[in-house]
């Protein structure tokens, strides 16, 4: 008799395989720390992120180095860097999740529609996708951010509008392949509706790809948000953002290097963490990789 408790359901099996990968665990730990810091920032941060303290500057008016009171030093206005990093994590994660979620939604809709219906509908959608891919993403984001008044949600929308094309191309390729499979032809022969085929057969097969691209896309989004904020067209001060922390303090690069290196390291670590988890998910959810660990 089969022991049902030993049977792994696909989600639990994928989770178990994911936790067995050291690189994925490292990524998950980093993400958990950043998320915890962002969520509990109002209680964990020792100071208000916008509080300009009188003892936050030296007698010469320079930023304070890290010490017992200011764990990561202060910035050019005497604000606690550690507190601003915690609140900046909120900005990065909100934009990362919202912008990448919108990009994933747009790309999936365009890719499925073009790949399933094909013909002139697919041709128009994919030519538009190719046109968007021809523009450098950073240049297009700069143009859009310059047109609209920068804010948290505008920056998220701008990033989503330039990041959906890669997802659309991948989803289109997989949907086109699935649409020609025998089980789809059998469903059509049996009179299955378009919505049933899409939601009961096509979409479930695409979920692993969507999950992987959703994870990997957050790292790209975090980097792009930091770049826009560093250029001064992203999230505007006094709202804390890892990118605008570097932008505000770049003139102190030599005299107070921690103001640049610490937020820069935070950006790199968070992007690396999502890449590590995304790569591990790709291997775990790919049936061809099972048994090769």
Tens-place pLDDT, residues 172-183: 999 999 888 888
51 phi/psi in degrees, rounded to 5: -80, 115
pTM of the model: 0.86
Name the pLDDT band for 289 (thresholds 50, 70, 90): low
Q: In this predicted structure, what is the pLDDT of residue 6? A: 37
Name the pLDDT band for 5 (thresholds 50, 70, 90): very low
Name the pLDDT band for 80 (thresholds 50, 70, 90): very high
Residues 114-151: pLDDT tens digits? 999 888 998 999 999 999 888 888 888 888 887 887 78
Domain boundaries, the chain: 81-275
Architecture of domain 81-275: Orthogonal Bundle (1.10)
Q: Report the distance separating Cα 46 and Cα 68, nearest Å.
A: 12
Q: In this predicted structure, what is the pLDDT of residue 124? A: 94
- The answer to whether 80 and 47 have CB atoms below 8 angstroms apart is yes
More confident residue, 248 or 287: 248
- The CB density around residue 3, as the number of other CB atoms within 10 Å, is 6
Name the nearest CA neighbour of 23 among 260, 249, 281, 289. 281
Q: In this predicted structure, what is the pLDDT of residue 118? A: 86
Environment class of residue 162 by beta-carbon count within 10 Å: exposed (0-12), middle (13-18) or buried (19+)?
buried
Q: What is the mean pLDDT of the chain?
A: 86
Mean pLDDT confidence for 251-260: 89
Q: What is the largest CA-CA distance in the chain?
A: 82
More confident residue, 110 or 1: 110
Residue 76 has pLDDT above 70, yes or no: yes
Name the pLDDT band for 14 (thresholds 50, 70, 90): low
Residue 271 has pLDDT above 90, yes or no: yes
Residue 89 has pLDDT above 60, yes or no: yes
Mean pLDDT confidence for 180-191: 84
Q: By percentage, how much of the chain surpasses pLDDT 70?
A: 92
More confident residue, 192 or 240: 240
Q: In this predicted structure, what is the pLDDT of residue 27? A: 92
Q: In this predicted structure, what is the pLDDT of residue 4? A: 37
74 phi/psi in degrees, rounded to 5: -125, 165
Mean pLDDT confidence for 151-167: 89
Q: How far is CA 19 from the centre of its chain?
A: 21
Environment class of residue 127 by beta-carbon count within 10 Å: exposed (0-12), middle (13-18) or buried (19+)?
exposed
Q: In this predicted structure, what is the pLDDT of residue 287? A: 55
**SS3 category, 195:** helix
More confident residue, 262 or 135: 262
Q: In this predicted structure, what is the pLDDT of residue 126? A: 93
């Amino acid at each position: 008799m089969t022991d049902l408790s030993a049977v792994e359901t696909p989600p639990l099996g994928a989770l178990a395989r994911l936790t067995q990968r050291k690189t994925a665990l490292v990524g998950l730990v980093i993400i958990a720390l950043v998320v915890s810091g962002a969520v509990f920032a109002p209680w964990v941060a020792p100071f208000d992120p916008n509080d300009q303290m009188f003892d936050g500057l030296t007698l010469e008016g320079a930023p304070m180095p890290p010490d017992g009171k200011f764990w990561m030093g202060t910035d050019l206005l005497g604000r606690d860097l550690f507190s601003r990093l915690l609140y900046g994590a909120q900005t990065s994660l909100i934009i990362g999740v919202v912008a990448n979620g919108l990009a994933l939604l747009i790309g999936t809709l365009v890719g499925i529609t073009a790949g399933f219906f094909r013909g002139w509908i697919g041709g128009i959608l994919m030519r538009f996708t190719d046109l968007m891919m021809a523009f450098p993403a950073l240049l297009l984001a700069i143009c859009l951010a310059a047109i609209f008044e920068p804010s948290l949600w505008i920056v998220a929308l701008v990033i989503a509008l330039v990041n959906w094309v890669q997802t659309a191309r991948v989803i289109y390729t997989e949907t086109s392949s699935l649409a020609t499979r025998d089980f789809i032809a059998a469903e059509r022969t049996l009179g299955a509706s378009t919505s049933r085929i899409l939601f009961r057969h096509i979409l479930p097969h695409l979920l692993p790809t969507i999950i992987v691209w959703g994870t990997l896309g957050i790292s790209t989004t975090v980097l792009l948000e930091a770049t826009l904020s560093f250029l001064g067209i992203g999230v505007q001060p006094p709202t804390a953002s890892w990118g605008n922390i570097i932008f505000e303090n770049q003139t102190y690069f030599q005299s107070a290097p921690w103001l640049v290196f610490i937020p820069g390291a935070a950006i790199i670590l968070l992007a690396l963490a999502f890449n590590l988890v995304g790569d591990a998910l790709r291997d775990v959810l790919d049936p061809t990789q099972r048994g090769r660990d």
